[in-house]
């Protein structure tokens, strides 16, 4: 891998393009923040955001060490805890800090683009990041994406500068940034070992390459060592970041996997339960207590055993996940991108989306290949391809694609830079064809007709209302979720539980029986159905449902308690 010739001084992005990109990026993000700051999911948090908030509050109140090995990547909640200590428990403070971090990331992206492709490429890459709407969307959520994207941009800059100048300190800087990224996004552990390949072809021969690679590896290990030591001290075994790698690999790679997230047990996708469920199931299969590391390896071995037994199915599944990854649709997590677009004038603008960036970047990569500039753009090509594979090998959410966008934007900027060159040379035909293609790609995601996942939105709104004590609103939202998707198991179960609390037993039984038919392997719905039948006086049906719940989960607390209550009532004269 040849190294580009070092310039006399560090290349800088076009000042005018970079300055205006930062101004546009700030305006878009602040406008979006002003529009959504009082909306559900931003003023009242759900799912992962809620868990990060809970964790950060515990840290800010003094629990800096914690009591168990990390299950989720730890760096982000510690950063939020620092914000809380300085500014109080303010979501707005977090969002504004993330906007500032995002702007720093745009600056780093501009510098990286200039190192790789020249001043104009750097300015165009910064503009691409400024106008990329999914960045704007996630910059105003209590999630780690803003920090991760900015860290990738900084890493890309460091790698590009290190390759041009060959200084060990620059390679050490890249190693530190790679370590921080691994503490933000665990799957980056699969990317980091490939990055020292970028030292190949540099000056100084084998000794020089070894010195630069050693600086990178040492700095990377230095960042992870305290986390690994902490996890080991708390009984997790060797875990350089977290213990969820094995179970996440299983979720994305087993006979029933479809490439998207599916909880191990239906209804147990709340973060608090996500931590406990892999251990409960693994220990039940192993017949003994397991450390956090052993739990992770248990799920990894199961998944690899399936892959070895069904190699064709495994490869077909990877192809499906790759197609999902490349799709223009923004696959939702807790907060739906398209629902938020209806509430934010900034997001409603016809600006950059994944479906445009990925294909313009592909054109840029082809141009780099044809122009024989692989050495110049090697950091962007490696980060984009390795980052994509490190995501696809697990499962796909739209936000998991975000860390590959900065290097893609540099490649896309190379394509746009070539278009500008064609115009400057008055080569109107190729320039016109390229401009028409770019305009079509830019417009395609906006014309695709993607709509909000109403069932997901209404279900999560119902959860927020239920947690806030507004049961009437929760009932309305769960009913709306069922109307949008009659197969919504969680909406049916929660709506049935609410009806049972109100004493509307026929309605409760109908909803819970519907939920049980949708997810017969759920111990929770069987336990709730048993309780409702018991309240309705159907003792035979109650015993059957409660026994089924205890078969699925022998220690289920409410099923056991209700079965004991049923047994006592039957023994009384």
The domain that holds 458 is classified in CATH as: 1.25.40.10
Residue 214 placed within a domain: yes
Contact 365, 411 (CB under 8 A): yes
Q: What is the pLDDT of residue 8?
A: 44
Residue ending a domain, choose from 396, 414, 447: 447
558 within domain boundaries? yes
Cβ neighbourhood burial of 422 (10 Å; 0-12, 13-18, 19+) = middle
pLDDT one-digit tens code per residue, 46-81: 889 999 999 999 999 999 988 899 988 999 999 999
CA distances 73 to 227, 229, 386, Å, are 10, 15, 20
Taking phi over 0 as left and psi of -120 to 50 as alpha, with beta for the rest, 327 belongs to: beta
Pair 150, 42: CB distance under 8 Å: no
341 part of a folded domain:
yes
Q: Residues 200-215: what's their mean pLDDT?
A: 81
Looking at the structure, tell me whether residues 463 and 558 fall in a common domain. Answer: yes
User: Does residue 483 belong to any structural domain of this protein?
Assistant: yes
Encode pLDDT of 77-111 as tens digits: 999 999 999 999 999 999 999 999 999 999 999 99
Rounded Cα distance between 269 and 49, Å, is 13
Q: Is the domain of 401 the same as that of 483?
A: no
Phi, psi of 396 (to 5 degrees): -115, 125
Residue 34 has pLDDT above 90, yes or no: yes
Mean pLDDT of the chain: 91
Secondary structure, 3-state, 379-419: HHHHHHHHHHHHHHCCCCCHHHHHHHHHHHHHHHHHHHHHH
DSSP 394: S
Domain-terminating residue out of 386, 416, 447 = 447
User: With contact defined as beta carbons under 8 Å apart, do 77 and 53 qualify?
Assistant: no
Residues 365 and 487 occupy one common structural domain: no
List of residues 6+ apart from 201 with CB closer than 8 A: 1, 2, 3, 375
Q: Which of 277, 290, 335 is nearest to 49 (CA)?
A: 335
- 281 inside domain: no
> By C-alpha distance, which of 88, 66, 522 is closest to 273?
522
Specify the pLDDT at position 173.
Answer: 95
| Nearest alpha-carbon partner for 489 in 447, 459, 446 | 459
**Residue 7, domain member (yes or no):** no
Could you give the count of Cα atoms lying within 13 Å of 404 in the half-sphere of its Cβ?
25
Q: Which of 11-15, 157-161, 481-485 has the lowest mean pLDDT?
A: 11-15
Q: Report the candidate in 100, 91, 92, 120 with the shortest Cα–Cα distance to residue 18.
A: 120
Residue-level pLDDT at 97 = 97
Band (140; pLDDT cuts 50, 70, 90): very high
What whole-number distance in Å separates Cα of residue 399 and Cα of residue 385?
17
Closest CA to 272 of 53, 87, 425: 53
Integer Cα distance of 425 and 171 in angstroms: 39
HSE-up (13 A, CA, CB side) for residue 84: 20
245-283 per-position pLDDT tens digit: 999 999 999 998 998 888 888 877 777 777 888 998 999
Three-state DSSP state, 352: strand
CA 160: distance to chain centroid?
26
Percent of the chain exceeding pLDDT 90 equals 68
* pLDDT of the residue at 427: 86
Which residue in the block uniquely carries the two structure tokens 């892959």? Answer: 307
| Confidence grade of residue 423 (pLDDT, cut at 50, 70, 90) | confident
| 394/336 same-domain check | yes
- Note whether 470 and 415 are same-domain residues: no
User: Are residues 296 and 247 in contact, defined by beta-carbon separation less than 8 angstroms?
Assistant: yes
User: Residue 239 region, left (φ>0) first, then alpha (ψ -120 to 50), else beta?
Assistant: beta
Could you read off the pLDDT of 366-392 as tens digits, one per residue? 999 988 888 899 999 999 999 999 999
pLDDT digit string (tens) for 497-513? 999 999 899 999 999 99
Q: What is the DSSP letter of 554?
A: T
**Domain end residue (candidates: 447, 479, 495):** 447
CA-to-CA dists, residue 341 to 28, 369, 450, angstroms: 13, 37, 11
Same domain, 84 and 219: yes
Same domain assignment for residues 63 and 207:
yes
- Predicted confidence at residue 15, as pLDDT, reads 84
Least confident range of 153-157, 221-225, 240-244, 472-476: 240-244
d(CA 211, CA 224): 20
Distances (CA, A) of 553 to 335, 346, 490, 543: 31, 47, 18, 15
Cβ-based burial of 435 (10 A; exposed 0-12, middle 13-18, buried ≥19): middle
Q: Is 79 in the same domain as 183?
A: yes
Residue 420: how many other CB atoms lie within 10 Å = 13
In this predicted model, what pLDDT tens digit does every residue of 273-326 receive, in sequence order? 778 889 989 998 998 999 989 999 999 999 999 999 999 999 999 999 999 999
Between CA 522 and CA 519 the distance in angstroms is 6
> Are 412 and 532 in a shared domain?
no
Distance of alpha carbon 221 from alpha carbon 212, whole angstroms? 14
Residues 357 and 471 in one domain: no
* End-to-end CA separation in angstroms for the chain: 85
CA dihedral 94, 95, 97, 98 (to 10 degrees): 110
Contacts of 225 (CB under 8 A, 6+ apart): none
On whether the CB atoms of residues 212 and 199 are closer than 8 A, the answer is yes
Name which residue leads in pLDDT, 439 or 394.
Answer: 394
Domain hosting residue 490, numbered range: 454-571
Q: Considering the domain boundaries, does residue 39 fall inside one?
A: yes
> In angstroms, rounded to a whole number, what is the distance separating the alpha carbons of residues 321 and 302?
19
Q: What are the angstrom distances between the C-alpha of 348 and each of 13, 237, 337, 379, 461? A: 29, 48, 11, 33, 22
Between 401 and 570, residue with greater pLDDT? 401
Q: Give the total residue count for the chain.
A: 573
Buried b (16+ CB within 10 A) or exposed e, 170-200: bbbbbbbbbbbbbbbbbbbbbbbeebbebbe
* pLDDT single digits (tens) 110-123: 999 999 999 999 99
Residues 526 and 405 in one domain: no
Measured from the Cβ of residue 480, the count of other Cβ atoms closer than 10 Å reads 17
| Each residue's pLDDT tens digit, 433-445 | 888 888 888 888 8
Residues linked to residue 132 through DSSP beta bridges, in sequence order: 352
Domain presence at residue 301:
no
Report the domain count for the chain.
2
Residues 483 and 345 in one domain: no
Give tens-digit pLDDT for 519-537.
988 999 999 999 999 988 8
Q: Which two tokens stand for residue 282?
A: 């693994």
Buried b (16+ CB within 10 A) or exposed e, 63-84: eeeeeebbbbbbbbbebbbebb
């Amino acid at each position: 891998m040849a190294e580009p010739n070092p310039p006399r001084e560090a290349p800088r992005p076009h000042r005018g393009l970079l300055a205006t990109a930062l101004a546009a990026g700030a305006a878009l993000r602040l406008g979006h923040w002003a529009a959504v700051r009082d909306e559900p999911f931003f003023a009242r948090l759900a799912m992962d955001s809620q868990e990060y908030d809970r964790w950060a509050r515990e840290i800010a109140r003094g629990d800096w060490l914690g009591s168990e090995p990390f299950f989720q990547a730890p760096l982000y909640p510690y950063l939020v805890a620092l914000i809380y200590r300085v500014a109080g428990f303010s979501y707005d403070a977090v969002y504004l800090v993330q906007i500032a971090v995002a702007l720093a990331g745009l600056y780093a992206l501009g510098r990286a683009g200039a190192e790789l492709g020249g001043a104009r490429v750097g300015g165009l890459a910064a503009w691409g990041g400024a106008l990329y709407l999914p960045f704007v969307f996630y910059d105003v959520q209590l999630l780690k994406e803003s920090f991760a994207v900015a860290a990738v941009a900084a890493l890309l800059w460091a790698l590009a500068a290190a390759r041009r100048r060959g200084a060990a300190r620059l390679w050490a800087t890249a190693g530190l940034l790679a370590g921080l990224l691994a503490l933000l996004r665990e799957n980056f552990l699969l990317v980091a070992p490939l990055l020292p390949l970028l030292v190949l072809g540099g000056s100084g021969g084998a000794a020089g390459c070894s010195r630069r690679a050693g600086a990178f590896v040492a700095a990377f290990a230095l960042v992870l060592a305290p986390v690994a030591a902490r996890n080991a001290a708390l009984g997790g075994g060797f875990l350089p970041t977290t213990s969820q790698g094995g179970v996440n690999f299983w979720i994305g790679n087993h006979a029933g996997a479809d490439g998207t997230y599916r909880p191990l047990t239906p209804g147990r996708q709340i973060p608090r339960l996500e931590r406990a469920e892999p251990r409960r199931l693994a220990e039940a299969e192993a017949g003994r207590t397991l450390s956090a590391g052993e739990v992770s390896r248990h799920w990894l071995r199961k998944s690899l055993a399936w892959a070895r037994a069904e190699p064709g199915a495994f490869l077909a599944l990877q192809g499906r996940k790759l197609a999902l990854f490349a799709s223009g649709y923004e696959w939702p997590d807790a907060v739906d991108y398209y629902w938020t677009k209806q509430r934010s004038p900034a997001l409603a603008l016809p600006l950059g989306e994944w479906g445009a960036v990925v294909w313009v970047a592909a054109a840029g990569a082809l141009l780099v290949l044809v122009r024989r500039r692989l050495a110049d753009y090697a950091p962007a090509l490696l980060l984009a391809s390795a980052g994509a594979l490190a995501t696809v090998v697990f499962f796909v959410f739209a936000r998991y694609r975000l860390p590959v966008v900065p290097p893609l934007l540099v490649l896309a900027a190379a394509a746009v830079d070539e278009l500008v060159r064609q115009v400057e040379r008055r080569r109107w035909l190729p320039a016109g064809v390229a401009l028409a293609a770019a305009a079509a790609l830019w417009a395609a995601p906006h014309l695709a007709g993607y709509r909000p996942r109403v069932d997901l939105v209404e279900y999560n709104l119902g959860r927020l209302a239920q947690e806030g004590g507004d049961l009437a609103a929760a009932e309305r939202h769960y009913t709306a979720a069922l109307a949008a998707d009659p197969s919504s198991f969680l909406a049916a179960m929660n709506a049935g539980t609410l009806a049972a609390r109100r004493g509307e037993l026929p309605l409760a039984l109908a909803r819970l029986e519907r939920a049980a038919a949708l997810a017969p392997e759920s111990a929770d719905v069987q336990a709730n159905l048993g309780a409702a039948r018991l309240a309705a006086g159907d003792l035979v049906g109650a015993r059957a449902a409660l026994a089924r719940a205890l078969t699925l989960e022998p220690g289920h607390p409410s099923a056991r308690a209700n079965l004991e209550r049923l047994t006592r009532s039957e023994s009384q004269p």
